[in-house]
Structure 1
Amino acid sequence: MSLHQDAVVVDCHNDLILLVDHFDQRAKPGHFREFWLPELRAGGVDVQILPICLEEAFQSEGGLRRTLLLVERIHRLAAEHSEDVAVCVTGAEIDAAVAAGRIALVIALEGAHGIGQDVALVRTLHRVGVRVISLAHFGRTFLADGSGLDATSRSRLTPQGIEALREMEELGIVFDISHLGLGGVDHVLELATRPFLATHSACLGITDIHRNLHDDHIKQIADLGGVIGVAAAVPFFIDAQNPTADRVADHVERIAEVAGIDHVGLGPDFIDDYYQQVYGGWMLPPGFEATTAHAEVSRPSDLPKITDALVRRGFAEADIRKVLGENVLRVLREVMV
């Protein structure tokens, strides 16, 4: 626990803004203060990448409006809790927030539905603070296909998707490869010139599901200086029947063996509380098992369990610090300038 609390911890993916908004709509604006802030502190989280994921009802004509409303909610959240959190748009701002004891928030898009085919909006989203973008979620956007379409689509980026990638690299927005179909991952690896993240993925060589990355892709992401964040909180990605912290450590170990310890991080994908509160259980996309065990790492306060598992396996302290946050920080500092 002392190692975990002393390390800089970067969480690449927590969908908490969806649950914050859910309670806002029900006249319970204190949810972040009462639930998420204590959870983040208990988990030692210093940097939180905050994705905006659009529910199906907003993925077409309502996409941009919903995206901007949630961007605005994140900025208001930071203003309401300015002693504890800060929205950061550069690596230097992240370092300053962490040094001041605040949690650095980095706004992200999980699926670029709000952009449509108007790539100029990438620049608009950059202006309002978005610094990490994935082009697709489950399904299709005007820019790319998600991994759920691998069986029916070639999944490479559209011409607008290629343009969006180039715009992101120019502006200093971190590309997020999680959720892209196999063809899209191949295409990005052909085109990318800067390091990027797989914010919340895991190893296909351990858990065979379309959302995970095979060893060749992991190695190529590392060759570009990128980092794979292990989606520790999603049983389907880690091990549907045995989603323990030790099983998460298996994925960390596999990535380290394939790509090197400098290219693995944590992107737990804390979404369980949202699904339970809003839907009463998991909403399963195609290709996912109907029944799973409960993830041992299901909330930020569980993150020290991963550190414990890595310590028990004999990982060096310096390597554990890399996994917990230093590797992802390197990418954020290099790209977000």
Structure 2
Amino acid sequence: MRLFDLHCDTIEELKKRGEDYLNCTTQFSLRDRDKLQKAVQVMAVFVPDDIRGPEAVQFVLDYHQYMDDQVRKTGGQAELVEKITDLDRILDEGKWAFIRSIESGAALNGDLDNINRFADLNFKMLGLVWNGANELGSGPNNDTGLTAFGKEAVKRMEQVGMIVDCSHLNDAGFEDLLNIAERPFVASHSNVRACCSHPRNLTDAQFKELVRRGGLCGLNLFSRFIDDDDNGSKDYLLRHIYHMLELGGEDVIAWGGDMDGEITCDPDLSTPYGVGRFANYLLEHGIGETAVQKIFFDNAYRFFKQQVK
């Protein structure tokens, strides 16, 4: 089993609990590494909506250092990807490859130069918004689109090779993104609204744009985004996959579990190793071997190798 997961909130949970990657009670841990052939985890620094201004910038910088410290404590079991050309070496050495990302453009404090700053610190992806509004745009809690600064931020991110992540972006902001984006972008942890009506999920039209542009959509394990009854079962998540495949998404579907982001779901889905059991479940329910490999590794691996500097 190979796994490339586009989103988790583990680094902040480790700090809250006073734990480390080797000795932790989080959903994500290195305990599962020996059960996986190759493993890549995008580690998000989540900036809460109540942190703004210079404090938001410093928040990300502090977590950058904290992540470095935590990875050093793994004794070589994990390594942060500084350059995307390092990815294959890290995987071939049997290590878990960690990729830095930021969740919420509030981290920029309205300054485009912070994009360059964070890119220089090897953050490879940035989510434009979380649930509320920031200097770039708004989440699903209101209907305003990207700001003028948000549009300029997208352009700067594309210039420096930082992936634009549209998960949490509202519909108006998504339309604005379509009008300005010149490179493929991702929804790192989103499902489809046709199977669960929550506004955090993508409409069919939005998902088709990801297909057309060669983007990614990482399946989210939060039960409220899986089905309207909040069950979060693997049966309901399978419906999302069926629907995405019907929309032509075989090369777009990826894994964006959102582990340690307060997710509640089927126990088979809540750890990296549990994901392997879900992969077998997909095979048993008519998803082909090639498609399963794409969902859990190949699509995200290809995208990052092509799009990240």
TM range (shorter): over 0.9
Query: Percent identity among equivalent residues?
Result: 21
Query: Counterparts of 1:125 and 1:34 in 2: how far apart (Å)?
Result: 29
- State the SS of the aligned residue for 1:10: strand
Give the TM-score normalised by structure 2. Answer: 0.92
Residue 55 of structure 1 corresponds to which residue in structure 2?
Answer: 48
Contact 1:17 1:74 survives alignment (8 Å): yes
Alignment of 1:70-89 (within 5 A): 70-89=63-82
> Aligned-pair distance for 1:59?
3.7
Q: Which one of 94, 103, 114 corresponds to residue 101 of structure 1?
A: 94
- 1:129 matched to 2:122: yes
Unaligned runs of 5+ in 1: 276-281, 283-292
Check 1:211–1:32 CA distance in 2 against 1; reply closer, same or farther (3 A cut): same
Unaligned runs of 5+ in 2: none
Give the TM-score normalised by structure 1. Answer: 0.85
Query: Counterparts of 1:336 and 1:90 in 2: how far apart (Å)?
Result: 9
The residue identity in structure 2 corresponding to 1:169 is E
- State the SS of the aligned residue for 2:189: strand
Check 1:315–1:178 CA distance in 2 against 1; reply closer, same or farther (3 A cut): same
Check 1:241–1:162 CA distance in 2 against 1; reply closer, same or farther (3 A cut): closer
Q: Stretches of 4+ moved more than 6 A in 1?
A: none
- 1:306 matched to 2:299: no
Query: Counterparts of 2:200 and 2:69 in 1: how far apart (Å)?
Result: 32
- State the SS of the aligned residue for 1:49: strand
Contact 2:49 2:130 survives alignment (8 Å): no
> Aligned-pair distance for 1:71?
1.2
Contact 1:144 1:157 survives alignment (8 Å): yes
Query: Counterparts of 2:265 and 2:238 in 1: how far apart (Å)?
Result: 17
Query: Counterparts of 1:267 and 1:68 in 2: how far apart (Å)?
Result: 24
User: Higher mean Cα deviation, 32-41 or 190-199?
Assistant: 32-41
- 1:185 matched to 2:174: yes
Query: Counterparts of 2:194 and 2:105 in 1: how far apart (Å)?
Result: 28
Q: Which one of 280, 290, 294 corresponds to residue 318 of structure 1?
A: 290
The residue identity in structure 2 corresponding to 1:34 is N
Residue 15 of structure 1 corresponds to which residue in structure 2?
Answer: 9
> Aligned-pair distance for 1:301?
2.9
Query: Counterparts of 2:156 and 2:188 in 1: how far apart (Å)?
Result: 20
The residue identity in structure 1 corresponding to 2:236 is R
- State the SS of the aligned residue for 1:55: coil
Query: Counterparts of 1:262 and 1:56 in 2: how far apart (Å)?
Result: 33
Check 1:68–1:23 CA distance in 2 against 1; reply closer, same or farther (3 A cut): same
Residue 112 of structure 2 corresponds to which residue in structure 1?
Answer: 119
